[in-house]
């Protein structure tokens, strides 16, 4: 009879959140998942486009996140790579367009890892919208987080 591996030795679940630019939704989702999941998760975020690589999160998202108690000021944009897809146990697209883009990049091993963050609906892109839209996106992402946590 073999001994069960202690929980402390278990590898954290690796979650990758993805949106278009890694500028609004995916960095917030990664932050919320990391804060709520603690040591049980290792979370990263990336964008399917490279426009915001190395840049901070969108100012309106930083403000909306702060109002909900999340600090996005340390975020810097990352471009999605095949290595990130391989690294992740689960890849969470913020919307159907991002999921379609992910499917074009995925191979046999990574395709089963892909899904929508909210399961059956999109997290709307708040880009160029009113502050209330950013605040609503924060609430949607926060509400969807528990489904992805161990």
Q: Report the pLDDT value the prediction gives residue 10, as an integer from 0 to 100.
A: 87
- Does residue 122 fall inside a structural domain? yes
DSSP character for 82? Answer: H
Q: Residue 124: inside a domain, yes or no? A: yes
Catalytic residue among 24, 44, 95, 125: 125
- For residues 48 and 45, give the distance between their C-alpha atoms in angstroms, rounded to a whole number: 10
- Domain coverage including residue 54: 12-148
What's the pLDDT score for residue 2?
40
Q: Is 19 a catalytic residue?
A: yes
pLDDT at 107: 95
The residue annotated as part of the active site, out of 24, 25, 44, 95, is: 25
Full-model pTM = 0.93
In a domain, residue 3? The reply is no
Show the DSSP H helices in 55-126 as ranges: 59-67, 82-87, 96-105
**In angstroms, rounded to a whole number, what is the distance separating the alpha carbons of residues 8 and 119?**
29
Kindly report the average pLDDT of the chain as a whole number.
94
Beta strands in the chain (DSSP E): 13-19, 41-47, 90-93, 114-116
Domain for residue 107, yes or no?
A: yes
pLDDT digits (tens, 9 = 90+) for 127-141: 999 999 999 999 999
Known catalytic residue at 24: no
Tokens linked to 6: 């202690």
Number of structural domains in the chain: 1
pLDDT at 4 over 50: no
Is 1 within a domain?
A: no
In a domain? residue 111: yes
Residue whose C-alpha is closest to residue 29's, from 150, 124, 146, 142: 142
Q: What is the β-pairing status of strands 90-93 and 41-47?
A: unpaired
Residues 107, 28: Cα–Cα separation, whole Å:
27
CATH no. for residue 63?
A: 3.40.50.2300
In the predicted structure, residue 79 carries a pLDDT above the cut 50 = yes
Asked if residue 42 belongs to a domain, the reply is yes
* pLDDT per position as a tens digit, 95-133: 999 999 999 999 999 999 999 999 999 999 999 999 999
Please tell me which residue in 19, 24, 44, 95 is annotated as part of the active site. 19
Q: What is the pLDDT of residue 130?
A: 97
Is the residue at 61 inside a domain?
A: yes
8 A C-beta contact, residue 13 and residue 42 = yes
> Nearest-CA neighbor of 16 among 44, 36, 49?
44
Q: Which of 1-15, 26-40, 59-73 has the lowest average pLDDT?
A: 1-15
């Amino acid at each position: 009879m073999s001994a069960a591996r202690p929980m402390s030795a278990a590898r954290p679940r690796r979650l990758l959140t993805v949106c278009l630019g890694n500028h609004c939704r995916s960095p917030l989702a990664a932050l919320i998942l990391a804060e709520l999941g603690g040591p049980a998760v290792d979370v990263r975020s990336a964008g399917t486009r490279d426009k915001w690589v190395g840049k901070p999160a969108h100012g309106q998202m930083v403000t909306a996140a702060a109002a909900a108690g999340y600090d996005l000021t340390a975020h810097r944009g990352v471009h999605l790579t095949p290595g990130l897809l391989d690294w992740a146990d689960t890849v969470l697209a913020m919307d159907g367009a991002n999921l379609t883009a992910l499917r074009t990049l995925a191979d046999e091993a990574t395709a089963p890892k892909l899904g929508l963050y909210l399961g059956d609906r999109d997290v709307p892109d708040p880009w160029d919208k009113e502050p209330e839209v950013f605040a609503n996106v924060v609430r949607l992402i926060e509400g969807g987080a528990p489904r992805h946590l161990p």
